[in-house]
Structure 1
Amino acid sequence: MNSEISQHKRLSRTKPNYALLLLTLVFALGLLDRVIFNVLLDPIREEFHLSDTIMGLLSGFAFVAFYSAMTFPIARLADRYNRRNIIVTGLTIWSAMTAFSGLVTNILQLTIARILVGFGESMGSAPGHSLLSDFFPKHERPKAFSIYSGGLHLGILLGYIIAGLIGQMLGWRYAFFFAGVPGLLLALIIRLTMKEPIRGSSEEHYELKGLKIPLRTAVKDIFRQPSYRLVLIATTMGAFVIYAFSTWEATFLRRIYHFDGIQIGLIVGTVKGGTGLAGAFLGGWLCNTCGKKNYRYILQIPAIATFLCAASSLIFLFSDNSTMAIIGLGITTFFLAFHIGVAWGVAQTVTRVEVRTLAAAILTISCNLIGHGLGSSVPGFFNDLLSETYHVNAIRYSLLSATGVALLSGLIYWRASHHIEKDINSLSEQRKVTPTF
């Protein structure tokens, strides 16, 4: 196996940075397809005469139901078969269904389109995490995954601009067309230019023990690491915060400060995209640099950033003018971006090569089914519940749920930091490799 890996490295069939670029764009387009719906939530709701609760469910559970149901079996396939081809298939499906969303004529068709977008996206995340782990050795993964997580904020930036500008000028249906086409082109590029790496090729002296591990054994192997369990919980809570704000912030600004589509697209999109990318890159760099001195910093830095995110969210929610609200949103997005890529990198580093895609799938399912599903739906439910008492200001108080969850997420990341060194060392002993971050 070692000679095969060495030969593979010499051939350099796909440059790691090029693969990182392509996979980051895949992730960005996945977020673009979600953000489009969230930014256009009010126009869609008004055309089909729906409540906030129903729109929250369409943004959340209608999307994540099939996404979560299919992520697990897709991960098992990706641990055995060509991961690149799985990603290409999924990207084609969800991009086509995004474009189709602009043609729907009733709520049933819209629900089906959202379900199929989720089905397609289930083929992107976990196989992508596994591919990155084979392109980059573990001491480079925090930075690589942080760059990859920047795709989230790139997708947000593009989603806001397309939905805001196209939605305002041509209507919400055209925005879905513009969002779907790039994914179809990217799928073709990946299929023609990116090669599948050998599993375990980034691990020195690693002997792949075989991919046909029984499911029960694989799950037990993953969850025996305390740092993985705690990162799973904390990252799911972080996903709740991300999707609570990303689903409802455009609606918040429309209702509280009367922003129009162009203002949301240009101002909010630029602020969120820019601060999110900065936070993702800085978070990855800090964790990568400080983690070389002490493993605990790899998770303590995201913990502190998440605490600061909770504090700054209050500026966004309760400012008395739009300028301060946008500043608060930018600071919140900046600190919220610290944890994502780092958490994904940790989840891949504390699990064995044979089960990495499954480990990523479990994290993805939890973040989407619980984090995205509840993050999108809970504020919508409280909007309707509190509307008679607080009227338009109900949305301020409904989004406080995200502030509380952010505080809990930070506490759990801090707790996980006390386990990570032991978990990395125990896994490295199995691989007969000295761990370095």
Structure 2
Amino acid sequence: MTPATPPSASKYYRHYVLVLLTLVYAFNFIDRQILVVLSESIKLDMGLSDSQLGLLTGLAFAAFYVSMGIPIARLADVSNRRNIIAAAITVWSGMTALTGLAQNFTQLLLARIGVGVGEAGGSPPSHSIISDYYPAKERGRAMSFYSMGVYIGIFIGFGLGGLINQYYGWRVALFAVGIPGLLIALLVRFTIREPVRGIMDGNTNIEKTSFKETLKTLWQLTSFRYFSLAAGVTAFVSYGIGNFLPSFLMRSHGFDSLQVGTSLMLTTGIGGAIGTYMGGYLADKFGQKDIRWYLWVPAIPALIVTPINVFAMFTPQADMALMYIFMATMLGSLYLGPTIAITHTLVPPSMRAMASAVLFFILNLIGLGLGPLTVGIASDALASSYGADSLRYAIAGVSFVGLIAMALCLLAAKHLPKDLEKSMKQQAQAIKDQNESFA
């Protein structure tokens, strides 16, 4: 397929692509997180434990999400990324709707695995497309705008899921959020043009690179090793806490499904969207003077978020708990955009989808895979001592893990300038060699 007109020809079109891919990511998270707001209803209906809930909303999804992400990202680095995204949406939306037909834990588990397989094809090719529509100096904001889809999805998913669950049940809620995704898949397939790879980096003569070469490149970047782990630890805290917030509000503050959906829609949805965009904005603004700001921006809030999460768990007032949740979500979401942007800056265009997949493999395996499961196991273990309050103690304990992420980000920032200099030299030499071979 012949590449489309360079994206720089139309500022408005590249913004359209960014908005549509952000909408795709929003649906990704609506379908991923809808089970969270429905968890108490499903638990009561099927007699599940907190450990089983943690498995359904975490490890069962994450294991297949991260394992399928690698081969799909490899495909995205050598073929049409738009078509991969459209197919992925079709799979995960269909599997979300099928989840509503599950009659037992095993069927729920299999349906969630299907959602995870589909969603593996969403972000890596989207990241790669965005990097071919936006130059490096704007990439932090573009990636943060895209990453706002996480919280737009949470906003819609919690609000709509809570409302439908309250009046029609959890099965109808899953049908309602799954089916519209099929329409979004058609929009992607027929309105997004596949961009020229490397156009924004002055390197369109791109040679294909192997998975082994990509892994070798990433492993040689000391900063990547540290900040990818930092992202995983940050996600461990955010998923571990976030996936059990509906259950916490119901058990500790007596909320019903509609109150949970509305409250978390406004706190985590809006707070997360603000924090995600601000992360990219601040990184791009200060990173022009010192590239280390791309990692300092995620590091600084970690020290503040930990006590805020603890206050949220133990304040007796529901409105104060929601205020703390809003603050913690906003500060805790600053990391995502800068982390993706700096990853793409450190690797050549031919490796970007795969680099995103490796980053998300680490982030989601540690974060989504282990975070909710750890909180669920801890809550079950503490139940004999603390009863219904076991969940708040489990969540409070997990919040301290965020301090590890801060230390890892600071270590990564120390190595970043040297890694970036080495990467830029290698990419410049590669362009020179390719130009000479074509001459």
Query: TM-score range with shorter-chain normalisation?
Result: over 0.9
TM-score normalised by structure 1 residue count? 0.94
2:93 aligned with 1:83, yes or no? no
Structure 1 residue aligned with 2:420: 424
Deviates more, 1:261-270 or 1:183-192: 261-270
In the TM superposition, residue 338 of structure 1 has moved relative to its aligned partner by 0.5
The DSSP-based 3-state class of the residue aligned with 2:48 is coil
Q: Deviations over 1:392-425 (max 9, x none)?
A: 1111111124312211111111111112222222
- Please tell me the residue identity of whatever aligns with 1:129: H
In the TM superposition, residue 429 of structure 1 has moved relative to its aligned partner by 2.2
The DSSP-based 3-state class of the residue aligned with 2:15 is helix
CA contact (8 A) 1:93 1:120 kept: yes
- List gaps (5 residues or longer) in structure 2: 430-439
Q: Deviations over 1:150-177 (max 9, x none)?
A: 1111011011101111100111111101
In the TM superposition, residue 218 of structure 1 has moved relative to its aligned partner by 2.2
Matches within 5 A, 1:262-281: 262-281=258-277
Match for residue 397 of structure 1 among 380, 393, 398: 393
Structure 2 residue aligned with 1:257: 253
Q: 1:160 to 1:7 in 2, by over 3 A?
A: closer
Structure 2 residue aligned with 1:289: 285
Whole-Å separation in 1 of the counterparts to 2:27 and 2:249: 24
Q: 1:130 to 1:401 in 2, by over 3 A?
A: farther
CA contact (8 A) 2:4 2:194 kept: no
2:352 aligned with 1:362, yes or no? no
CA contact (8 A) 1:13 1:195 kept: no
Structure 2 residue aligned with 1:246: 242
Structure 2 residue aligned with 1:64: 62
- Please tell me the residue identity of whatever aligns with 1:100: L
Whole-Å separation in 1 of the counterparts to 2:267 and 2:118: 29
Structure 1 residue aligned with 2:93: 95
2:255 aligned with 1:236, yes or no? no
Whole-Å separation in 2 of the counterparts to 1:255 and 1:11: 54
Whole-Å separation in 1 of the counterparts to 2:215 and 2:391: 39
- List gaps (5 residues or longer) in structure 1: none
Structure 2 residue aligned with 1:145: 143
Structure 2 residue aligned with 1:160: 158
- Please tell me the residue identity of whatever aligns with 2:201: E
CA contact (8 A) 2:7 2:133 kept: no
CA contact (8 A) 1:99 1:178 kept: yes
- Please tell me the residue identity of whatever aligns with 1:361: A
2:204 aligned with 1:210, yes or no? no
Whole-Å separation in 1 of the counterparts to 2:325 and 2:77: 39
Whole-Å separation in 2 of the counterparts to 1:162 and 1:77: 34
Match for residue 314 of structure 2 among 288, 312, 318: 318
- Please tell me the residue identity of whatever aligns with 2:187: I
Whole-Å separation in 2 of the counterparts to 1:14 and 1:78: 25
Whole-Å separation in 1 of the counterparts to 2:84 and 2:245: 33
Q: Deviations over 1:78-126 (max 9, x none)?
A: 1111011011001001001111111222222211110100000011111
Whole-Å separation in 2 of the counterparts to 1:158 and 1:246: 15
Deviates more, 1:417-426 or 1:317-326: 417-426
Deviates more, 1:219-228 or 1:375-384: 219-228
Q: 1:357 to 1:6 in 2, by over 3 A?
A: closer
Whole-Å separation in 2 of the counterparts to 1:343 and 1:58: 27
Whole-Å separation in 1 of the counterparts to 2:261 and 2:210: 48
Structure 2 residue aligned with 1:300: 296
Q: Deviations over 1:125-144 (max 9, x none)?
A: 11111111111111111111
Whole-Å separation in 1 of the counterparts to 2:251 and 2:278: 33
Whole-Å separation in 1 of the counterparts to 2:9 and 2:277: 30
- Please tell me the residue identity of whatever aligns with 1:171: G
- Please tell me the residue identity of whatever aligns with 1:377: L
In the TM superposition, residue 269 of structure 1 has moved relative to its aligned partner by 1.1
- Please tell me the residue identity of whatever aligns with 1:383: S
In the TM superposition, residue 215 of structure 1 has moved relative to its aligned partner by 2.6
Matches within 5 A, 1:326-405: 326-405=322-401
Whole-Å separation in 2 of the counterparts to 1:388 and 1:246: 23
Q: Deviations over 1:162-205 (max 9, x none)?
A: 1111100111111101111221111011111001111111102x
CA contact (8 A) 2:58 2:372 kept: yes
